[in-house]
Amino acid sequence: DADVTQTPRNRITKTGKRIMLECSQTKGHDRMYWYRQDPGLGLQLIYYSFDVKDINKGEISDGYSVSRQAQAKFSLSLESAIPNQTALYFCATSDYQGGPQYFGPGTRLLVL
Amino acid sequence: SQQGEEDPQALSIQEGENATMNCSYKTSINNLQWYRQNSGRGLVHLILIRSNEREKHSGRLRVTLDTSKKSSSLLITASRAADTASYFCATESNAGGTSYGKLTFGQGTILTVHP
């Protein structure tokens, strides 16, 4: 079984809709991250969380919000989706500060 | 802005040849990491090199780090078709003396290995 899972894997939505992307991990890591990847580009950090009570904005947090429901669960919400949020979204975890990150399979989001 | 910049953007080689990818960064770092991404899939961690290390090996991978030049290279020896993927460097910056453990990723090198 995968250590980091993301649901859904693919999602098509319309402009203005609220959607939630979910991430679960069985690695027991405290640190979790949400990134977006646009075609041909690297990853940009949206939000990160070092434990259940600690949530921080990344480089591109505008238009996004997150919820850390438990150590194992970290959700990303788009309050009112817009077309330029069309991208591949990844969740990741890490065991210690600056350590290797373990990525989920990604959610491909299309906003029409 | 991207901390890491990979070079070249794309690399095409024959199976058995070596592949070298370079990464340059702008600020002082605690460590630098390399990741591989198969098309449209999640990134996979390959190797981590700390700022006080100059070279590290893992199987067919060799990573060097030159902090004076703020650059790193990833060498894949005896490449295989299965090595075809995008490769990203990522840095943990300690600019300002504070590190929050965040990684900043470059835009990647697309490697194609022809059988």
Contact A26, A1 (CB under 8 A): yes
Read off the pLDDT of each residue in A16-42 and give the average, rounded to a whole number. Answer: 94
Judged by a CB distance cut-off of 8 A, whether residue B23 touches chain A is: no
| A91 to chain B: closest CA residue | B42
Instruction: Report d(CA B61, CA B84) in Å as an integer.
Output: 14
pLDDT surpasses 60 at B16: yes
- Cβ within 8 Å, pair A96-B105: no
Greater model confidence, B1 or A87: A87
Distance from CA of A5 to the nearest CA of B (A): 10
Contact B52/A at CB under 8 A: no
- Assign B2 a pLDDT band (cuts: 50, 70, 90): very low
Determine contact, residues B66/B73, Cβ cutoff 8 Å. Answer: no
pLDDT tens digit string along B48-104?
999 999 999 999 999 999 999 999 999 999 999 999 999 999 998 876 655 567 899
What pLDDT sits at residue B18? 98
Per-residue pLDDT tens digits for B19-53: 999 999 998 999 999 999 998 899 999 999 999 99
Residue of chain B whose alpha carbon sits nearest to that of A6: B42
- Model confidence at B1: pLDDT above 80: no
CB contact under 8 A, B40 and A99: no
Q: Tell me, what's the pLDDT at B98?
A: 54
Cα distance between the two ends of chain A = 33
Distances (CA, A) of A71 to A14, A47, A99, B34, B41: 31, 15, 18, 26, 24
More confident residue, B83 or B1: B83
Where is pLDDT greater, at A108 or B7? A108
Q: Are B63 and B73 a contacting pair, CB within 8 Å?
A: yes
Coil/strand/helix, residue A83: helix
The per-residue pLDDT for A15 is 98
3-state secondary structure of B83: helix
Please give the pLDDT value at position B86: 96
